[in-house]
Amino acid sequence: MSKSPWRRDQLKELPVEYWVKVVLTDKEELQYNNVIRHTISDDMEILEIDTPKEVVIIPMRQVKYMTCDAGIFQQKKG
């Protein structure tokens, strides 16, 4: 049995990976399956999608719609 490289106290800080799909105005579809964060800039002009290996910047005027894994919005019941 191999040991995990992560300490127990680090497990809380590991990012949750989820999927994001972006459909552009030209009908091109972009699918990212290992997203750790996605944000829209304060001025609503840029969508940023962060994965462990890259940061993708998309101008919002090119985005028709986007969807993501709803599991990231679930709250734990206390």
Q: In the structure, what pLDDT confidence band is assigned to residue 77 with cuts at 50, 70 and 90?
A: low
Show the tokens assigned to 56. Answer: 């993708």
Distance CA 54, CA 34 (A): 10
Per-domain residue ranges of the chain? 16-70
Full-model pTM: 0.73
Query: At the topology level of CATH, where does 16-70 sit?
Result: SH3 type barrels. (2.30.30)
Partner residues linked to 59 by β-bridges: 46
Digit-coded pLDDT (tens) for 2-49: 454 545 555 455 678 999 999 999 999 999 999 999 999 999 999 999
Extended beta strands in the chain, E state: 18-24, 29-35, 37-40, 46-50, 55-59, 63-68
Show the tokens assigned to 26. Answer: 């030209």
Q: What is the pLDDT of residue 36?
A: 93
Give the Cβ contact number of residue 4 at 10 Å.
Answer: 8
